[in-house]
Every structure is written in C-alpha cells, then in structure tokens.
Amino acid sequence: MAICFELVLNFGDNVEAAQAAARTDTKPWVLNAGGHRIPLHRPLLSTLGSNIELTILPVAVGWGVGLDGSLPRFPLTAAEFTELGHHLYDLLAQLDGYVTAKVGWDVEALLDPAELKAEWSQELADGSLDGLVISDSLRGELELSDNYVPFQPGYCWIPYRGEVPSSLTAD
C-alpha cells in the first residue's frame, strides 16, 4: 500500500475543468524543500463514484508509490514537507474549476463534498481542517467556522499549518 504526500483536487463532475488541469505541464515545477529540489510526476486523473479527482505527486517523497519505481526517497523533515506543501498550494492557486482540494498525506478522504457534509461537519464547523480549500459554490452548502479566509478568487480555506514530525518524516 502506498503512502502519498500529495496535492489532490476534487472536480465533482466537471470533466472539462479536470481535463484542463490534467494538462498542466508539471515538468518545469521543481519544488524546493530545504536543500532538496523535488520534481513532480505528471498529474493523474481518476474517477471515484461521481467525483473526478486530480492527483499531483512529488517524486520520491512517499512510500511505495508505484510512479517512483526504484528511486531512493528524499529524506525530508517535517519542516521540509511543510515547505513542499506550501509550494504545492502555490501550484493549486494557478488552477480552477475544482470543488475541494488539499495537500498532505493521503488526503482523498477529505475531498468528497457528500462526505464532508456527512462525516466532517464538526471539523468544518470548528475549523480543524487546515489546508482544505473549498469552492465558494460548495461553501454555501457547508457550515464553516469563521476561520475560513479567501484562498484565491472563488475559494476559501483555513491556511495550511504544515506537517508535524512523525514516523513519516526524517525528524
């Protein structure tokens, strides 16, 4: 089973926006994390139920990621993962048409609008889901804390706080 540090965008059923975002050329995106320069894999589109998701994975930072092949992992600290996360949000700010998005470890479970309403309503209301970007169109359907602020036009979020040291980092 792969453990991925990733940027994932949920486009709902907006095929055109998902396909446009999937055409994003990630080759020029080499992200700094401490002294490391980390390239990105090509964006991956997938369909989960009625949702179209786009995943952008940094190269060689997760565990068991098939796209990495036999590449050695970058031994990143929590601070370096945080820096990498901020750069992924910079990339996200250039995309549009998604409903929800988030950077972090295996974040897909936090992106389905129906699951957000049913399973994560308390966390949305108390503002504990930092880094979750929500479209203004979905915002009206959710009860969000007052801590949500603009991310870019059409989107709000509680700013990303970064990664904490754990067994998944080199700290």
3-state secondary structure string across the chain: CCECEEEEEECCCCHHHHHHHHCCCCCCCEEEECCEEEEECCCEEEEECCEEEEEECECCCCECCHHHCCCCCCCCCHHHHHHHHHHHHHHHCCCCCCCEEEEEECCHHHCCHHHHHHHCHHHHHHCCCCCCEEEHHHHCCCCCCCCCEEEECCEEECCCCCCCCCCCCCC
Is residue 164 domain-resident?
no
In a domain, 124, yes or no: yes
Q: The pTM is what? A: 0.93
Q: What residue numbers bound the domain in which 69 lies? A: 3-158
Domain-located, residue 166: no
Residue 170 lies in a domain: no
Categorize the per-residue pLDDT at 33 as very low, low, confident or very high, splitting at 50, 70 and 90: very high
Please report the pLDDT score of residue 100 as a whole number.
Answer: 98
Domain contains 75? yes
Q: Give which of 160, 53, 158 is closest to 113, Cα–Cα.
A: 53
| Residue 169 placed within a domain | no
pLDDT digits (tens, 9 = 90+) for 130-151: 999 999 999 999 989 889 999 9
- Residue 47: inside a domain, yes or no? yes
Counting the structural domains of the chain, the total is 1
**What is the average pLDDT score of the chain?**
93
